[in-house]
Chain A
Amino acid sequence: MATTSPTPPPDASEHQLTLFPIVCDDDVVQFRHQVRAAAVAAGLRLIDQTKLVTAASELARNALEHGGGGLGEISTPRTAGRTGVRLIVEDDGPGIPDVALALTDGASRAGGMGMGLPGARRLVDAFELWSEVGVGTCVTVEKWAR
């Protein structure tokens, strides 16, 4: 899709979108494999592949354990000649009452809330968390080839 806009939003670029249900332990493993394949295809270095796949594993497990299962989306956006991988992991679980707290290191260790969220955030280039109590949680992360 061509665009004349000088700074096209990432969504406007050409990319494939793949959806994965995350409803059991094995789905988390499969999601990791698919994220790895997308990261390799996007030209991410091994260290960045590993960081992204690890973040994906944290997010998928959160969706499974705290959200009661969810959906993972993998896309490979292209902006200004750069390629990346974008993951969206969403669930329609109970939601996170205190997002700031959930993103604080050590808060998750007290149990309950999003395990590994602050860690996953550090492993990626872009991180966005949306959550509403009683509605669900949606996390978007991006990792770009350097």
Chain B
Amino acid sequence: MERIPILKLGKSLFVTVQVDIDDRLATTLQDDLMQRIVDTGAKGVLIDISSMELVDSFMGRMLAGIASMSRILDAEVVVVGMAPVVAITLVELGLSLPGVRMALNVERGMAILDQALTPLRVGGEPDDGDDLPYAPT
């Protein structure tokens, strides 16, 4: 059975959807991805759709589903590389993919995941070393 390869890069998984996928392949990808998240403990998933010539309602729901399911499994999903014509068509179709983190390309997607996977310090800002431990009152 045909499958979309899922690569592991550090703490993240990387998927490139290169073919014109049918519904079964999309569903298989969803199942495979959830299993890999559990097996590897991945905290981030990058899905590159730059080769996809269209995203219809099924594929849109599939992407939204992957994002919600991954979140429940404590992994952040970033979808990258959507072609402009695909974005225009998707919105006109009535799907705006709420809850799916998008990025323009793989590089920016990686940056988002890196940031999300870096443990936050109190206050959410990098420690520049000049903070007082506790301000005496």
Indicate whether A50 sits within 8 Å of B85 (C-beta atoms), given known contacts A25-B22, A58-B56: yes
Do residues B85 and A123 form an inter-chain contact, with CB atoms below 8 A? no
Residue picked from A53, A61, A105, A116, most chain B C-beta under 10 Å: A116
B57 at interface (Cβ–Cβ under 8 A)? yes
A131 at interface (Cβ–Cβ under 8 A)? no
Q: Give complex CA distance A120, B22 in Å.
A: 18
Indicate whether A53 sits within 8 Å of B57 (C-beta atoms), given known contacts A32-B20, A122-B92, A122-B94: no
Q: Which residues of the partner chain B approach A120 to less than 8 Å between Cβ atoms? A: 93
Q: Give complex CA distance A42, B85 in Å.
A: 18
Indicate whether A47 sits within 8 Å of B57 (C-beta atoms), given known contacts A25-B24, A26-B22, A28-B23: no
Q: Which residues of the partner chain B approach A51 to less than 8 Å between Cβ atoms? A: 89, 92
Chain A residue total in the interface (Cβ 8 A): 24
Give min CB distance, B89 to chain A, whole Å: 5
A89 at interface (Cβ–Cβ under 8 A)? no
Question: Across the two chains, which residue of chain A brings its CB closest to B61?
Answer: A115
Interface of B: prevailing SS: helix
A29 at interface (Cβ–Cβ under 8 A)? yes
Q: Give complex CA distance A25, B28 in Å.
A: 13
Q: Give complex CA distance A46, B53 in Å.
A: 10
Contact with B along A120-136 (1 / 0, CB 8 A): 10110000000000000
Residue picked from A28, A46, A50, most chain B C-beta under 10 Å: A50
Q: Can you spell out 11 A-B residue pairs with CB atoms less than 8 angstroms apart?
A: A25-B23, A25-B24, A28-B23, A32-B54, A36-B53, A47-B88, A54-B56, A57-B58, A61-B56, A119-B57, A119-B93
Interface residues in chain A, defined as those with a beta carbon under 8 Å from any beta carbon in chain B: 25-26, 28-29, 32-33, 36, 46-47, 50-51, 53-54, 57-58, 61, 105, 115-116, 118-120, 122-123
